[in-house]
Structure 1
Amino acid sequence: MSVVTYELIENIGVIRLNNPPVNALSHALREGIQDAINRAQEDASKALILICEGRTFIAGADISEFGKPPKAPSLPEVISAIEGSAKPVIAAMHGTALGGGFEVALACHYRCALSSAKVGLPEVKLGLLPGAGGTQRTPRLAGVEAALELITSGAPVAANKAAQMNLIDRVIDGELLEGALDYARELVTAQAPARRVSDLMIDPASAPAELFEGFRSKLAKRARGQMAPQLIVSCVEAAVALPIEQGLAKERELFIECLQSSQSAAMRHLFFAEREASKVKGLDKDTPKREIASVAIIGGGTMGGGIAMNFANVGIPVKLVEIDDEALARGLSIIEKNYSITVKKGKLSEAQKDQCLSLIQGTTDYADLADVDLVIEAVFENLELKKEIFAELDNSCKQGAILATNTSYQDVDQIAAATRRPQDVIGLHFFSPANVMKLLEVVRGDKTADDVIATAMALGKKIHKVPALSGNCYGFIGNRMLRHYAREAQLCMIEGGTPEQIDSVMQDWGMAMGPMAVGDLAGLDIGYKARQGLTDEQKGDPKTYCIADALVEMGHLGQKTGAGYYRYDPETRARITDPEVVEVIETQAKAHGVSRRAIDNSEILNRLTCALINEGSKILQEGIAQRPGDIDVVYVFGYGFPAYRGGPMQYADTVGLKRIHDTIVMFGQRYGEEYWTPAPLLKELAESGKTFAEWARGK
């Protein structure tokens, strides 16, 4: 069946596109559109409608073609053919018209859409910019400021909002084709011309230099380190200053620059890795899933409350369990406060808030959990307490209920062994704040049933998380790697660095926050309490935690006490350098026989990133992670790793595994091999000249 068909309905030519699942702009689709437009110039049609079959209008480019030799016609050539049509062309949109799909619509002379449709230019999320006129035509219709916001955010807008922005001419209620035909007939009757967006001019006075300067400054904070947003501003500037032909040439030049960049390669890798992470190797895609119609959360603290919100937000009733009425009231008030903040930000209405809150009920009695389909334990990290809770759940919950632990690093198999149904036990590791952070680390125990895994992965998507599967080990994927990253941060600090220097290096490189600032945000007492349950051997080298322990013992627990590695302004929570902390660092260095020295920024960066990569290599080799991309997904969505670097394993591939390997060997010679011995897989790949991606494809 052809992906493009053409027919005359009375005197209206209808070009239908049908390239499932999302009508991506493949070569066949581009060729079909161009042929249909050319053919229609010679027939009896008075106007043309471009409409799509299936669930959506053109949802964007076929990114599987990126990096491959281009095939004519290119998208700009197709767009030129549409805009050059002597007969008016009307885009009729439903579903989502995104990226190249919306650029096709912008090239049409008129645009109509169902009220449920959304339009947008999300290329920036792949480290790209619109390369077929999006940056030139959008500001001509919507104005410069609105175009900058739309294109640099990549967020779609609903049809009614798009109509207010002058991006859509008519919003249709009812059947799309009939509405589009009626609109086309009106245009024909009115003898409406083939109105070309490229003929419009932008008044330079509407876009002074200060507007662009202000937007660049805003993007420097909002999209720190990313090149595509800044180049989008340059393209829109060109739309104001240059004729359309020169503006399009500038756009194409900068699009190619983005396409060939390591940033776009990383973000495109992440796009595919996110989708791949939800697939479980060896698990039949038809594996049945258990129905999750009700959920219970054990523990009403910040984490438990945040987890509860995820389920209420998608209409699943939640029972929040606490130890007594006072703790329960406190937990429910935290949830209410979080929803109120969301309302204040304009992301939720009062009615929606009330609806969500109505789905969360509190209890102090495990007997109330007899009929729930899923229980998530979210108490503090004490293995014995968790085992006691699971033994109680085993007695209270119905057969077939899934019993999940939100532990960050405890042994899921030991927790499961506290029940008579280890096949129903799984780890669901949410990240704080759980109602905001997108990652869900799904931890498979040794006896976890296939249908429980399948249910957990599907449920992650339902509650709008990015699920990634991990095997069971101390810390799973994310926190196991984080221990080594944090170790090097502590060692760099005691050897001569400061919290400000280490945080600045990592934040300037792209991390959302530096390691010391993260520690203050999470609370230094959490790690302190966890270490109290370990033997000296398990704790490791005292130099890797002595500063943190000393701060906790001084009452410096982080942001919650107004002091940690930094002091915090009580009003703004702004970080302030604390001379007391410098004294602590110097005292601990002296106590542990460390001669402090000046540490170069590049050494800090290499020690922290190589520590992540080396441990990630071990995790891959052991099968804890299914694939390198899963590790990247965990770190980008759970730990603030910069998306434009693609995650630790993609970054390693970009830098070159031989270079990473040789750096680790050099650190081993300088600091000892206890921490700096290349992982066997890393060594093997470095010597063979392969990448993690190539290794994964060969498995």
Structure 2
Amino acid sequence: MTSPVTWENRDGIALITIDSPPVNALGHAVRAGLWEAVEAAEADPAVRALVITAAGRSFPAGADIREFGKPPQAPLLPDLCDRIEVCTKPVIAALHGTALGGGLELALAAHVRIAHAKARVGFPEINLGLLPGAGGTQRAPRLIGAEQALQLMTGGRPVRAADALAMGLLDGVVEDGLTEAALALAADLVADGTAPVPTRDRTEGFRNPQVYAEAIAAARRQPHPPEQPAATRIADCVEAALLLPFEAGLAYERAAFEELQATPAARGLRHAFLSERRLSKTPEAGTEARPVEHLGVIGGGRTGAALVLSALSAGLRVTLVERDHDALIAALERIADIHEAEVARGRLTPEKRDEDWARLAGSAELPRLAEAEMIVEAVPEDLGLKAEIFSQLGRVARPGAILASATAALDIAALATAAGRPADTLAFRPWTEIPRSGLVELGVTPRTGAEAVATATALAARLGHRAVRATGPLLGRMMGAWAAAADGLLLAGSTPLRIDTALRGYGYRRGRYQAEDLIGLATLSGLRRPGLADGLAARGRTGCAVGAGWFDWPEGTRRAQENDEVLALVEAERQRHGLPSRPVGEEEIVLSCLLALIAEGTRVLADETALRPSDIDMALMIGLGFPRWRGGPMLAADMMGLLDAKNALAALAPENPELWTPADLLADLLKNGRSFEDLNGI
């Protein structure tokens, strides 16, 4: 097998090139190839210095995600970095693209670092619940001190090459000709005859021990959530860089890394990282998207207005169509009000607002959408009305236009039939009701074409959203089960405040009833006994205005106010069904809502609504605010043990079989010794 690492002698300089697309990740083959190249170049008397560079779009951008959770294979990255650092000949690392995590640690092990001006470097490990584990916590502080090293490692965000140069992390930055500049630098080092100082022997960052210690103390004073222990351990390791000999510091770092790697939070964050990347692995992956520069939107309500605003912000031309002139004026005023509020908050400049507004056209006639490359219908959930709109769109839309519905639950296949364009029709459902959701559900049918899916996915990304492909309602179903479990606890004797407090304590961005106020009972409620939901909706419990909702959430604070009328209604419903009231603890609240998600997740997988378990997890993390560090309900089922999950559901099933009975898939996994993770693939 051809190695992903090659080297050649360029006038006495060994040019070592990593070529492992797409991002030259530091998998086993790359590590082994680098080790062999360094060994061979060092042993070659005709070689006087080494330059490590990479082909393609980036210097190694970190670890190979395909190796996550698998037994490590030698050479390990820490050993490879040590091998490079102790090379008896000068080693220059030439960085371009994004040198992140292990890629930056590899560069730090070299004796000199030069980068392209557009390169970015950083330590994102904290986002996976980890710390740099290949010497990063020991080498970086030696170059740049504790404060800047801690900022890089606990912030997790990459910095520009110019900033890294100013810190002292890099030794040079060039606008172009990176490889040639690195070779010339190597030649200069050889001609000078002075051997570069290995990073382990550098002490610039230790010049002022008091300042160093104060930075450590300041980092420890920063509040960190208990589910993210990596920040504290990073501070410990950076302190060890000053206090311990280098080899002892490396050992301390490695022990801390392995300790963090074993935590549930790190497993959840790694799962979230992988799940996000799997979203792009669909049957339509690799299909070229059609260009979309002109978007049509039908309906200027909350969803439609949000689509218009995000499309304008992304630079698209937008034509908004409403049912009549009055509705159009109201929709345009709604959009203008949001624009003005953004300007007042300083999030949008008046110039940008005017530019956006100039690209917006409005009409009360569907034929005005004839030139749009994609049209999204966002009218109320009425199948007859939507079918009539799609029938007209089939006649007036340009050939090849993507026809989409923002429907939450209706049959997209019926709309595709009405349009007469099944290959170009799908659901495009942005969850705009949930603030900062960032989720778009793409609902496809067996006849939806690959180009339509690719185009809708590309548009979602351009609008700043992540797309989850499904064959039917996904997030709505999952949220319905979650809501039903919470409503059952309400009827059992809990209160909205206690339920939401427990859910937020678990890590959700918002509780079930806070979400209810934001979305509206008619949309979210999954209560299997309709009396309560109908009664509450009839009393206007659908908004989040002060005094109108279940809670008062002024200006984003966490203060919640019980509503006596709502609680009285719940009590009446409890008595009507002869349900006893009992104490409901926080653990029961959290577990019941989690089990409901797991059960519904098995049904979503069994009927192939979702491609894989991790898509369910990702939809809930993005759309509902399920805690990312817990990885989603399907991972939670694996972590609690599928047998324990099955037994817990069986105990609840008599209360509400429709809610608590999982699909046979759960028993099949148990029978075959498999997990939900096994269904995700790589």
TM-score under structure 1 length normalisation: 0.87
Relative distance call for 1:213 and 1:268 in structure 2 (3 A) is closer
Give 3-state SS (helix, strand or coil) of 2:250's partner. Answer: helix
1:3-14 to 2 correspondence within 5 Å?
Answer: 3-14=4-15
CA contact (8 A) 2:127 2:269 kept: yes
> Post-superposition shift, 1:194?
1.7
Q: Percent identity among equivalent residues?
A: 37
What do residues 218-244 of structure 1 show as CA deviations (whole Å, max 9, x unaligned)? x32xxx623434433433343354443
Matched, 1:507 2:504: yes
> Post-superposition shift, 1:52?
0.9
1:12-411 to 2 correspondence within 5 Å?
Answer: 12-42=13-43, 43=45, 45-188=47-190, 193-198=195-200, 199-200=202-203, 201-202=205-206, 203-208=209-214, 210-215=217-222, 217=223, 219-220=224-225, 225-281=227-283, 289-322=289-322, 323-324=324-325, 325-334=328-337, 336-337=339-340, 340=343, 344=347, 358-411=358-411
> Post-superposition shift, 1:286?
6.2
> Post-superposition shift, 1:9?
3.1
In the other structure, the counterpart of 1:438 is 438
> Post-superposition shift, 1:634?
1.5
Aligned mates of 1:435, 1:358 — CA distance in 2? 26
> Post-superposition shift, 1:287?
5.2
CA contact (8 A) 1:212 1:237 kept: no
Please, which moves more after superposition, 15-24 or 652-661?
15-24
Aligned mates of 1:397, 1:694 — CA distance in 2? 43
Aligned mates of 2:104, 2:51 — CA distance in 1? 15
Relative distance call for 1:695 and 1:178 in structure 2 (3 A) is closer
Letter paired with 1:514: G
CA contact (8 A) 1:267 1:645 kept: yes
CA contact (8 A) 1:658 1:689 kept: no
Please, which moves more after superposition, 560-569 or 114-123?
560-569
Relative distance call for 1:434 and 1:312 in structure 2 (3 A) is farther
> Post-superposition shift, 1:343?
5.7
CA contact (8 A) 1:376 1:405 kept: yes
Aligned mates of 1:168, 1:358 — CA distance in 2? 45
What do residues 51-104 of structure 1 show as CA deviations (whole Å, max 9, x unaligned)? 111221111122323343433322111111222234332211111111111111
Aligned mates of 1:309, 1:190 — CA distance in 2? 60
Letter paired with 1:49: V
What do residues 395-426 of structure 1 show as CA deviations (whole Å, max 9, x unaligned)? 43223211101112222233334433344321
> Post-superposition shift, 1:154?
2.5
> Post-superposition shift, 1:556?
4.6
Relative distance call for 1:253 and 1:298 in structure 2 (3 A) is same
CA contact (8 A) 2:97 2:120 kept: yes
Relative distance call for 1:360 and 1:165 in structure 2 (3 A) is farther
Aligned mates of 1:127, 1:574 — CA distance in 2? 27
Letter paired with 2:530: P
> Post-superposition shift, 1:483?
0.9
Letter paired with 2:282: V
Aligned mates of 1:373, 1:158 — CA distance in 2? 37
What do residues 576-600 of structure 1 show as CA deviations (whole Å, max 9, x unaligned)? 3335354554454345543321112
In the other structure, the counterpart of 2:674 is 690
> Post-superposition shift, 1:480?
0.9
Give 3-state SS (helix, strand or coil) of 2:440's partner. Answer: strand
What do residues 355-384 of structure 1 show as CA deviations (whole Å, max 9, x unaligned)? 655544444443321111100112333434
Letter paired with 2:515: V
Letter paired with 1:4: V
Relative distance call for 1:250 and 1:503 in structure 2 (3 A) is farther
Matched, 1:498 2:495: yes
Aligned mates of 2:115, 2:520 — CA distance in 1? 50
In the other structure, the counterpart of 1:534 is none
CA contact (8 A) 1:86 1:194 kept: no
Aligned mates of 1:75, 1:342 — CA distance in 2? 47
TM-score under structure 2 length normalisation: 0.89
Aligned mates of 1:20, 1:446 — CA distance in 2? 33
Give 3-state SS (helix, strand or coil) of 2:381's partner. Answer: coil
What do residues 475-528 of structure 1 show as CA deviations (whole Å, max 9, x unaligned)? x11111211110111111221112232122222222222212222233446558
Number of aligned pairs? 671
Aligned mates of 1:562, 1:169 — CA distance in 2? 61
CA contact (8 A) 1:430 1:441 kept: yes
Relative distance call for 1:78 and 1:383 in structure 2 (3 A) is same
Relative distance call for 1:140 and 1:408 in structure 2 (3 A) is farther
Give 3-state SS (helix, strand or coil) of 2:661's partner. Answer: coil
CA contact (8 A) 1:305 1:334 kept: no
What do residues 177-207 of structure 1 show as CA deviations (whole Å, max 9, x unaligned)? 1222344445556656423333325324344
> Post-superposition shift, 1:636?
1.8
> What's the Cα RMSD here?
3.2
Aligned mates of 1:564, 1:261 — CA distance in 2? 39
Aligned mates of 2:360, 2:163 — CA distance in 1? 33
Aligned mates of 2:662, 2:646 — CA distance in 1? 6
Letter paired with 2:513: M
